[in-house]
Amino acid sequence: MTRPTRVQLFVTCLVDRFYPSVGHAVVAVLERQGLDVSVPMDQTCCGQPAFNGGFTDDARRMARHTVDVLSASPDPVVVPSGSCADMIVHRYPELLADDAAYAARARDLAARTFEFTQFLVDVLHVSPAAEPDGPRLAYHASCHGLRGLGLVEQPRQLLRAVAGDRCTDLPGAGICCGFGGLFAVKLAGISAAMLASKIEAIAESGADAVVATDVSCLMHIGGGLHRRGSRVRPLHVAEILAGTRHD
Amino acid sequence: MTEASARFHRSVAEALADPHLRQALDRTTGRLAGGLAKAFATIPDAGALRDTARRIRAHTIAHLDQHLDQFERAATARGCHVHWAPTAADATRLVVDIARARGVSLAVKSKSMVTEEIELNAALGAAGVRVVESDLGEFVVQLADDRPSHIIAPIVHMSRDDVARLFEDKLGARPDEVADIPAITAFARRTLRQEFLQAGMGISGVNLAVADTGSLCLVTNEGNGRLTTTLPRVHVAVMGLERIVPTAADLGVVLQLLARSATGQALSVYTNIITGPRRPATSDGPGEPDGPDELHIVVVDNGRSRLLGGELAEILYCVRCGACLNICPVYHHIGGHAYGGVYPGPVGSVVSPGLMGLDEWSELPHASSLCGACRDVCPVRIDLPRLLLNLRAQTVAARMGPAWLRIAMPLYAAIATRPVLYRWLGSLAARLSRMMGHDGWLDRLPGPLSAWTTERDFPVPAPRSFVQEHHAHAPRAGGCE
Ligand code: SF4
């Protein structure tokens, strides 16, 4: 796609409510690229909790709402979450396939929706400047971005550019942290055991911060780290790129 | 919560509390998953091979009736007896009848998941036929009166010491006879050899059957499969309805993937292709020196044909390689027994409810974080997460699962489609939780959400949402370019 001048930000419900600083970091990075960033006021949740829970009708309702909100403008949509981007890109067109009023618009939205790092690398061809100092970072590859959108290189490329050798992959970077939305509540024991393995890997990495493209995983991992009194910080990749946490 | 759900949650809790299990799983699943990655690295275009295998399986399942007809004709022409078993009970009755009619009192059996599924050993036992498992893992399972916990490695939950102790207790082995794995294997082999010689019937599964030749393909890594299918006078092969490929060339494609995905081998140690029973001497030639006099093929439906043409039909492409178990982080933490059925792991979470209905198996589709590792590893690219999602939707439509969620989710959807209300309630919830939190964290969530905070904290929402801040032109996050 040609380089756009304007983008819409679908910030995701978790960033909106729990991590507004990540949203600001995303805006800062995009604006620094000379883009005009709009944040549609009426955006809410992409519907993934309902979809993954088997509540298809409820998911469809939320999908329609999001399609409406993001179709007011034809601008590309940037989502700082592989999971929510995957929902819009892959699930919306299926969910709304039989809905005459929405099917075409859902496909159109899917075609212009990008996960944040994917947008930076594949569309804007950003190569951020190296930061000589900063925390040692360990990268966790969030599942839906990795396997749904194929985000293998994009986040790593950006992190390596900024942090160089200070950034490594977590051991078992692509193994799920156990979040899985309602799974973390419905099968809390299994989820917590998966989290414990992830936290072992973080400890093993010796990093100061664990970085991911999705705050859902970071919320889960961060909650486990905090419970254990760990000093390792969970950071969204946008926070690294915006320099907002390079203290 | 239904009794079945409660049982599932209990067995999960037990599995999680078992450090011994975790160690055993770490060892084997890690090795198998590592082996797979290496084995796939040796084929130039593994992706294309997977696509081809998927096409073969998809085509076969889409035209299953034709392929089964063709198979029956070809196998019958080769002297096999083909029997159709609509249910598990039909299948066991057929095998029992064959055994009875031939006065069989001892049968040896090689590893087969479908015979576990139909509980054949119990049925034969009740009919006075002793069944001896001849696969080492299954032999151990039988001796321990246990159940297999993996479709390829049945005793993945046990350590070498567990097996050594079992052999000492149950078979009177001396410590030096079970000192290491080769000794254990040799001991089992000596024990089994006698049984092979006396058995009147050999029972096997079928990995894949070839429609146009009527052949059966069996892959094993121990010689037991070969003995089971050649030594006894009668061979009974039990196969799931879907285990068919159109031609030998198709078999070649699938086998390359099966061995690699199952055990990381380019080819399993023993790949047997059996076409008909032993051919007797005729005027044209001397006949074959070994093989059974009779070969019976029992084709088991047991719920499979119900899936044809439906949204879960894709699970019938499965070649039971076990790769999705080895890669699955959930399986890795709870092992196979916790899943309750014969088929554990992601594949089991689709197959058990798929074949046997959701009433008893409604929890399994939810026992996944939907990470998608299984879909990535599956040699025939079965979209397991999608099938799990489909089953989840069925559980919701059938009003199964937690009642609170049936209220909460539609409510959440109603709120999330009313942005003004959504923002207002979000701010209210933020204010309330800030009153209960410390330093930006909650260490206890209310109601069913408290399951989250048993082992992790939950962040307190921000006082103002990002969207609200952004639109109020709050100070933006600075950069340090
Ligand atoms: S679902 Fe795929 S990976 Fe799992 S056992 Fe079947 S073929 Fe193997």
Which pLDDT does position B452 carry in this prediction? 94
Per-chain mean pLDDT for chain B: 93
Tell me the pLDDT tens digit for each residue of B299-354. Answer: 999 999 999 999 999 999 999 999 999 999 999 999 999 999 899 999 999 999 99
pLDDT for B80 beyond 90: yes
pLDDT of residue B42: 86
Give B262: exposed, middle or buried? Use CB within 10 Å, 0-12, 13-18, 19+.
Answer: buried
Residue B384 alpha carbon to ligand 1 centre in Å: 9
Among B208-212, B285-289, B404-408, B452-456, the minimum mean pLDDT is found in B285-289
B309: left (phi over 0), alpha (psi -120 to 50) or beta: left
pLDDT band at residue B481 under the 50/70/90 scheme:
very low
**Closest chain A CA to residue B454:** A188
Asked if the model's pLDDT at residue B474 lies above 60, the reply is no
- How is chain A split into domains, by residue range? 6-123, 137-242
Amino acid A247: pLDDT: 37
Q: Which domains does chain B have, with CATH numbers?
A: 43-302 (3.40.50.10420), 311-397 (1.10.1060.10), 403-477 (no CATH)
| DSSP letter assigned to residue B202 | E
Q: Encode pLDDT of A70-98 as tens digits.
A: 999 999 999 999 999 999 999 999 999 99
Residue B480 pLDDT: 35
Of the two residues B194 and A210, the one the predictor is more confident about is: A210
Which chain A residue's Cα is nearest to B392? A54
Pairing of strands A167-169, B234-240: unpaired
pLDDT of B182 over the 70 cut: yes
How close does chain A come to B329, measured CA to CA in Å? Answer: 7
Q: How far is the CA of B321 from the centre of ligand 1 (A)?
A: 5
Burial (CB count <10 Å: 0-12, 13-18, 19+), residue B147:
middle
The alpha carbon of B115 and the centre of ligand 1 are apart by a number of angstroms equal to 18
Q: What is the ipTM of this complex?
A: 0.95
- A83, two tokens: 């999971």
Which residue in chain A is spatially nearest to B473 when comparing CA positions?
Answer: A24
Contact B477 A143 (CB under 8 A): no
Task: Label residue B477 by pLDDT band (50, 70, 90).
Answer: very low
Chain A nearest-CA distance from B356, in A, is: 20
Alpha helices in chain A (DSSP H): 13-18, 20-32, 48-53, 56-70, 82-86, 92-95, 103-111, 116-118, 143, 154-163, 183-186, 188-205, 215-227, 237-242
Distance CA B481, CA B29 (A): 46
Range among A42-51, B14-23, B281-290 with highest mean pLDDT value: A42-51
Q: Return d(Cα A12, Cα A22) in angstroms, integer.
A: 11
Q: Which residues pair with B133 in a beta bridge?
A: B109
CA of B386 from ligand 1 middle (Å) equals: 14
Which pLDDT belongs to residue B222?
84
Largest CA distance in chain B: 98
Q: Give mean pLDDT, residues B14-20.
A: 93
A42, A50, A194 member nearest B333 (Cβ): A194
As given in the structure block, the two tokens for residue B257 are 């993937």
Q: Which residue has the higher pLDDT, B481 or A10?
A: A10
Q: DSSP characters for A133-176?
A: S---EEE---HIIIIIS--SSHHHHHHHHHHGGGEEEPTTTTS-
For A7, phi and psi rounded to 5 degrees? -135, 160
> What is the arithmetic mean of pLDDT over B105-120?
96
Question: Which structure tokens are listed for B66?
Answer: 């034709």
| Inter-chain residue contact A45 with B16, CB threshold 8 Å | no
Report the distance separating Cα B336 and Cα B355, nearest Å: 18
Using a CB-CB cut-off of 8 Å, the residues of chain A touching B397 are 54
Residue B478 clears pLDDT 70, i.e. is over it: no
Q: Which of A62-66, B247-251, B469-473 has the lowest mean pLDDT?
A: B469-473
A137-242: CATH topology is: Rossmann fold (3.40.50)
| Statement: residue B1 has pLDDT above 90 | no
Measured from the Cα of B345, ligand 1's closest atom is: 4
Contact yes or no for A175 and B373 at CB 8 A: yes
CB within 8 Å: A183 and B419: no
The pair of structure tokens assigned to B326 is 């080895």
One-letter-per-residue 3-state SS of B303-372? CHHHHCCCCCHHHHHCCCCCHHHHHCHHHHHHCCHHHCCCCCHHHHHHHHHHHHCCCCCCCHHHCCCCCC
Question: Least CA distance to A50: which residue of chain B?
Answer: B409
| Residue B379 near residue B261, CB atoms below 8 Å | yes
CB atoms within 10 A of CB B479: 16
Position A245 scores a pLDDT of 47
pLDDT at B44: 86
pLDDT on residue B401: 87
| Dihedral, B370, B375, B377, B378 alpha carbons, nearest 10 | 130
Amino acid A244: pLDDT:
55
pLDDT digits (tens, 9 = 90+) for A192-223: 999 999 999 999 999 999 999 999 999 999 99
Q: Is B299 helix (H, G, I), strand (E, B) or coil?
A: strand
Is pTM, for the whole model, over 0.90? yes
Mode of pairing for the β-strands spanning B215-220 and B270-274:
antiparallel
On chain B, the residues whose CB falls within 8 A of the CB of A65 are 416-417
In chain A, which stretches have pLDDT less than 70?
A: 244-247
Give, using CA atoms, the residue closest to atom 3 of ligand 1. B378
Q: Check residue A132 and give its pLDDT.
A: 85
Q: What would the two tokens of residue B161 be? A: 């010491």
| Chain B CB within 8 Å of residue A90 CB | no
